[in-house]
Amino acid sequence: CVSSQVGCALDCSFCSTGKQGFQRDLSIAEIIGQVWVANRSYFEENQDYDSRERAITNVVMMGMGEPLLNFDAVVPAMELMLDDYAYGLSKRRVTLSTSGIVPMIDKLSEVIDVSLAVSLHAPNDELRNELVPINKKYPLKELTAACRRYLSKFQEEGGRRKVTIEYVMLAGVNDQAIHAKQLIQLLKDVPSKINLIPFNPFPQAPYGCTPRSEILAFQRTLTEAGYICTIRTTRGDDIDAACGQLVGKVQDRTRRAERWQQKLKAGEIVRSVQ
């Protein structure tokens, strides 16, 4: 799991990373360096490992930050991950996760072929506006259309490519039967698989985690509708480094994050990257 920024400007309400504000983008070297360190650490801890085998087989751009807002560093870093003379990973095993920067999803499809994941977390605009504020700029109708365009660009014969839909389970907020039905309706024209994420709490978090039995019931509804639906295994929660818990002891950049949010709403950041 690789980060693209220090902090994040998008301020999703269920994620501690956004609460620290945005500090800066990571460089290409800092992004690919995370893969290098993980690879080296594995070999150091497993001396009897066959060096002809790959220590790292999958990379997900799902750490700190919104990858598509650091486009000019993230894309070259992913190209190194795919390069046979570097890490040689399959395009199906490198995944970029976005909260839904629609113009940059389209731009991504023009320059590199990797798997796409979307941090959705809500099946309707009203709720997603609350959980993922960037939805006010790029609502669900635009986001799902961008997903379809991305898939059509790379769709293999037989239509096997899918977008991974990430959906954090928040007790009493987005985990009811009606939400599952709305999600089914929302994704009916988007080839997708759904990954349910148990909420990982952090200090002052306004949410609780949906009970396991209710997550299973939500999964069953989606599965019966024909979707591949998995439940993410929580890792790193023992050191507060699980999904949604990544936060650093860094200089407070809340005002910088606010300026980024204003620029993002005005489309200035997307235009500067394009």
- Separation between Cα atoms, residue 143 and residue 101, nearest integer Å: 8
CB 144 within 8 A of CB 165: no
For residue 220, the model assigns a pLDDT of 98
For residue 21, the model assigns a pLDDT of 84
- Separation between Cα atoms, residue 5 and residue 67, nearest integer Å: 7
* Domains of the chain from N-terminus onward: 5-273 (3.20.20.70)
CB 218 within 8 A of CB 175: yes
Residues 86-108, mean pLDDT to the nearest whole number:
97
- Separation between Cα atoms, residue 6 and residue 9, nearest integer Å: 10
For residue 132, the model assigns a pLDDT of 97
| Mean per-residue pLDDT of the chain | 88
Closest CA to 123 of 101, 141, 105: 141
**β-strands 22-25, 5-7: how paired?**
antiparallel
Closest CA to 102 of 127, 136, 79, 129: 136
pLDDT for residue 11 is more than 70: yes
pLDDT for residue 235 is more than 60: no
For residue 127, the model assigns a pLDDT of 99
Pull the structure tokens for residue 222.
């989606």
Q: Sorting pLDDT into bands at 50, 70 and 90, what band is 242?
A: very low
For residue 115, the model assigns a pLDDT of 97
pLDDT tens per residue across span 144-170: 999 999 999 987 655 689 999 999 999
- Separation between Cα atoms, residue 250 and residue 256, nearest integer Å: 13
More reliable by pLDDT, 226 or 49: 226
For residue 17, the model assigns a pLDDT of 85
Q: Helix 212-224 to helix 177-186 angle, to the nearest 10 degrees?
A: 40
Q: Which residues of 49-60 are buried (b: 16+ CB within 10 A; e: fewer)?
A: eeeeeebeeebe
- Separation between Cα atoms, residue 127 and residue 249, nearest integer Å: 30
More reliable by pLDDT, 50 or 201: 201
**Rg (Cα) of the chain, in Å, rounded?**
18
Pull the structure tokens for residue 246.
């990544």
More reliable by pLDDT, 232 or 78: 78
Write down the residue that tokens 């978090």 correspond to: 205
β-bridge partners, 253: 21
**Burial tier of 264 (Cβ tally within 10 Å: 0-12, 13-18, 19+):** buried
- Separation between Cα atoms, residue 119 and residue 134, nearest integer Å: 11
- Of 8-12, 97-101, 128-132, the least confident: 8-12
∠ CA 213-122-227 to the nearest 5 degrees?
65
- Separation between Cα atoms, residue 107 and residue 102, nearest integer Å: 9
DSSP 3-state assignment of 127? helix
For residue 249, the model assigns a pLDDT of 47
- Of 40-49, 133-142, 144-153, 240-249, the least confident: 240-249
Provide, rounded to the nearest whole percent, the portion of the chain with pLDDT above 70. Answer: 83
Q: Sorting pLDDT into bands at 50, 70 and 90, what band is 97?
A: very high
